[in-house]
Structure 1
Amino acid sequence: MPHRLLASWQRSEDYGVPVETVQPVFTGAYDEQSLFFECGQQVLGELARNLADEPISLMLTDADGLVLNRFSGDHALLRALDAVHLAPGFSYAEREAGTNGLGLALADRVPTVVRAEQHYALSLCSYTCAAVPVLDPVTGRLEGAVNLTTWSQASSDLLLALAHSAASTTSALMLSRASGRTARPAPRGEVFRVEVPRLEPGAGTLRELSQPWTAALHRAEDAVAAGRVVAAVGERGTGRATLLAQAERRHRPASRILAASAPAPADVEAWLDLWTPEVGKPHTAVVVRRVDELPVWAAQRLRDLVTEVPLAVTAERFEDIPAPLAGLVDAVVQVPALRERAEDVVALARHAAMRVRGREIDIDPSAAHALEQHHWPGNVSELVEVVRAAAGHTDRIEVRHLPAELLTGSRRRLSRIEAFERDEIVRVLTRPGVTMRDAAEELGMSRATLYRKVAHLELRVPR
């Protein structure tokens, strides 16, 4: 078996992916207004019309392996793909579904074919998949992948070529439509997520962290073991839901954990409808994120739905939890902010980078120091976004890959001119081997002026 496939199988085993059958994560919301989705939908739709009589399914996925759409004229193939959840709304990332064509293409950032028995899960051995990553033609950012799937006994010689063609056409169409395009709206947010009954090292189950985090985790574990309803409170992005899920998993290692985030107001009715068929299943625990955003009427209905299952919730403050749910809470655990546990920053950064690339990503000492010194007002969520952006472009994260604001000591709001100057100074000073003299010459100022600006902006640029 090729080295890349062996490495993927090893990662799949480390993630805890079951060998017998795939159990992918379901997410009920994704961004249908992105340029990538718009262009990919058009390209695959046209290609599907030309392949209407062929046993091939064409799919578009986002950068996290979430299936966004699916085209095929073969109804038998579609029914078979439904049985293994290779359908819109399900994530087929490597950490969720093991070695498969689209998951490996996204993990390695290269075109990939995975045939029959090369799949990690036995339930996928009936298929052959070819996938090609699609990069934003302007920024170079990974947007997702084009995936073509057929039966394993069918010829796959042209499968990768077709995927290549569709990915290239999508990228070209994105480039032609990119100019003058307004910023896309933020996604509506995750509506529903099912975490399958296994430990997921690739999905947030870090064990060895600092004493403040460990102490909070132990308090949550004790409450769960005592059968209490736990509320994890604290700033957004601190890992409140992760802490609760870890506590549930340690106490109930064989249970499913249903984790849901409070939806947009327009989605509340649909969100509530998703609960009924799920909470009745055995060995199920529920974590509801950000319940302080739920209207009281929705909290009342949710309380009635989850009375028979182990429940945990998150909020910024206990006082803001709607009364119908607050009345159920028996224990409150305060989750410390990331700035209160700086020793966790690099470990979390390495973990986030591995989730992006599917392998260890090096963080050089200067970059690690810069990460540790930042205040992280957005907590772990902000750290993950910074690392995702950096790891998407390099196998070794250096200071020059980090955003300039991470190197600014001052927390005051900068003017547009000051922000531009800061970004240019950081861009030049973080290049390997650049001296202050070199930087001053390139920036068109004296060394004395450069030193003054560095001091005024309170820049911390590791040398």
Structure 2
Amino acid sequence: MENRRLSPGKPRLMASWQRSERYGVSLDEVRPVFIGSVDTGSLLYECGSEVLTGLQATLANEPVSMMITDSAGLVLARLCGDDSINRSLDRVHLAPGFYFSERNAGTNGLGLALADRAPTLVRAEEHYCTGLRGYTCAAVPVLDPLTGELAGSVNLTTWSDSSSDLLLALAQAAAGNTTALMLARSAGRRMRPVPRGEVFHVYADRFEQADGGRCASRSWNAAVAEAHTALAAGRVVAVVGEPGAGKTALASLAHRQARPRERVLSARPPAPDDVDAWLTLWTPELEKDDTCVIVSGVDKLPAWAAGELVRLFTSARREGARPQPFVLTAEDFAALPSALVALVDTVVEAPALRHRPDDILPLARHFAQRERGRAISFTAAASQALTEYHWPENVKQLKRVARTAAARADVVDLRHLPTQVFSSGTHRLSRLQALERDEIVRCLTEPGATVVRAAAELGMSRATIYRKMAHYEIKVPNR
């Protein structure tokens, strides 16, 4: 890489340039991938277009092009009333239907914002490709307000010689308004909290009663055994699986079996702005021989933070000593930052809870007991409902359900379980539909309830009740 191209003191940009070089991006011209069609039916497209249309009206006479991209850097929409900048952006392929991630176009505003999941301003000379030096780009990632997953970005691009002082602030406002509008149109459900980057010690005495220690299914124990074998041999393990499946619990249990006397620290990913403080908090533990660190959700980390982890992990491997133990977790190995992939020796998958029906009731009883401080029982009907539910949020959701039910009764029956346990429907419901579904479930889970009694209480015919049960995919044991 040419040293003349970037001044020191900008580590995020330098890391992005280094990635661009590894990707083999051209220094002279942009060569993005063209897909030809974009998804104009997504909630991000709908809400982002509405927000940017309003912003465009206030910037009618300014040479600012406003864009929406998906999480992979595909440009979904571009709004601009200035013909000259539109023609210029067409020449560098910054247009709908083209991918403009770092892999495709090198260091640029929207590509770096997506890679680091952080607001980004890239000025003229800071672009990796000389073909983009005529522009200044401000981009801000947009997170799905319900899942917290990266949905895409809002990107504002102008000429490099134009004033850019307010460009990033405008992009941040537009991204924030897009997220708020997405939430408002998502059936009024609650926004997922921002990650806090917690770091905690998994104590041995507490771990004997921890989530994973209660599992007895064949698939869970096979995964634990696989991780144990790898850790005992000094290999670096990546545990992958769906959110809430118990990846950290699996890694902790496997490490306890391999080295019971060592401490286990778990570091959960923080918000992008808190990465520096998060790294400072726990990385000194890597120098201690008696500590294993589990870094959770590394697929959610900014790209530069993944590179810093590689440096820290590598330097912690002392010459002549066994590798300093650490474990990574992610939803999918393919989503692991490329900088970390080379460190991984063994990949272990934490099975989803729906594939481990034998673990559901033992875990439910365990969570309920922790909530109340004594043993809590479940009726046969409640046990059947829990076992037959598909648990889309896995163990995390089961924990929430069991604790809520245990707070209501010593003997948990159908009426103590939340509505979601009886409905396997995946389509989005309006508030009115959700209210109707909940009332039907409430009537069907009362003691001695029948479809006939539920129909009478709700003022519906029995045929209507059956039709609505099918529509909402409601399944109540013995009803």
In the other structure, the counterpart of 2:249 is 242
Distance in 2 between residues matched to 1:331 and 1:256, nearest whole Å:
21
Residue 400 of structure 2 corresponds to residue 398 of structure 1: no
Residue 218 of structure 2 corresponds to residue 211 of structure 1: yes
Residue 378 of structure 2 corresponds to residue 371 of structure 1: no
Alignment CA distance shift 1:244-1:439 (3 Å): same
Q: CA RMSD in A?
A: 2.2
Distance in 2 between residues matched to 1:185 and 1:319, nearest whole Å:
24
The percent of aligned pairs where both chains have the same amino acid is 48
Aligned counterpart in structure 1 of residue 273 of structure 2, from 266, 275, 297: 266
Alignment CA distance shift 1:327-1:267 (3 Å): same
Structure 1 residue 296: Cα displacement: 2.5
Say whether the 8 Å CA contact 1:190–1:260 is kept in structure 2: yes
Query: Cα deviation per residue 1:45-92 (whole Å; 9 max; x = unaligned)?
Result: xxxxxxxxxxxxxxxxxxxxxxxxxxxxxxxxxxxxxxxxxxxxxxxx
- TM-score, with length taken from structure 1: 0.57
- Structure 1 SS opposite 2:230: helix
Say whether the 8 Å CA contact 2:371–2:403 is kept in structure 1: yes
- Structure 1 SS opposite 2:209: helix
Say whether the 8 Å CA contact 2:298–2:328 is kept in structure 1: yes
Q: How does 1:255-294 map to 2 (within 5 A)?
A: 255-294=262-301
Q: How does 1:177-192 map to 2 (within 5 A)?
A: 186=193, 188-192=195-199
Say whether the 8 Å CA contact 1:376–1:383 is kept in structure 2: yes
Query: Cα deviation per residue 1:211-257 (whole Å; 9 max; x = unaligned)?
Result: 11111111101100111000011211111111111010011111100
Residue 388 of structure 2 corresponds to residue 383 of structure 1: no
Residue 202 of structure 2 corresponds to residue 195 of structure 1: yes
Say whether the 8 Å CA contact 2:215–2:363 is kept in structure 1: no
Distance in 2 between residues matched to 1:413 and 1:269, nearest whole Å:
38
Structure 1 residue 198: Cα displacement: 3.9
Structure 1 residue 365: Cα displacement: 1.2
Structure 1 residue 199: Cα displacement: 5.3
Q: Which amino acid aligns with 2:394?
A: N
Alignment CA distance shift 1:358-1:442 (3 Å): same
Query: Cα deviation per residue 1:149-177 (whole Å; 9 max; x = unaligned)?
Result: xxxxxxxxxxxxxxxxxxxxxxxxxxxxx
Aligned residues: 282
In the other structure, the counterpart of 1:334 is 349
Say whether the 8 Å CA contact 1:202–1:355 is kept in structure 2: no
- TM-score, with length taken from structure 2: 0.55
Distance in 2 between residues matched to 1:185 and 1:409, nearest whole Å:
21
In the other structure, the counterpart of 1:419 is 434
Residue 444 of structure 2 corresponds to residue 437 of structure 1: no
- Structure 2 SS opposite 1:206: helix
In the other structure, the counterpart of 2:372 is 357
**Which stretches in structure 1 are left out of the alignment for 5+ residues?**
1-181
Spell out structure 1 runs of 4+ moving beyond 4 A. 182-185
Structure 1 residue 312: Cα displacement: 0.7
In the other structure, the counterpart of 2:328 is 313
Distance in 2 between residues matched to 1:219 and 1:281, nearest whole Å:
25
Say whether the 8 Å CA contact 1:275–1:305 is kept in structure 2: no
- Structure 1 SS opposite 2:288: coil
Say whether the 8 Å CA contact 2:267–2:295 is kept in structure 1: yes
Q: Which has the larger radius of gyration?
A: 2
Structure 1 residue 411: Cα displacement: 2.9
- Structure 2 SS opposite 1:202: coil
Q: Which amino acid aligns with 2:213?
A: L
Say whether the 8 Å CA contact 1:241–1:287 is kept in structure 2: yes
Q: Which amino acid aligns with 2:266?
A: A
In the other structure, the counterpart of 1:347 is 362
In the other structure, the counterpart of 1:223 is 230
Structure 1 residue 410: Cα displacement: 3.4
Distance in 1 between residues matched to 2:396 and 2:192, nearest whole Å:
19
Alignment CA distance shift 1:317-1:450 (3 Å): closer
Query: Cα deviation per residue 1:266-309 (whole Å; 9 max; x = unaligned)?
Result: 11010011124433334111111011111232122223333332
Structure 1 residue 194: Cα displacement: 1.4
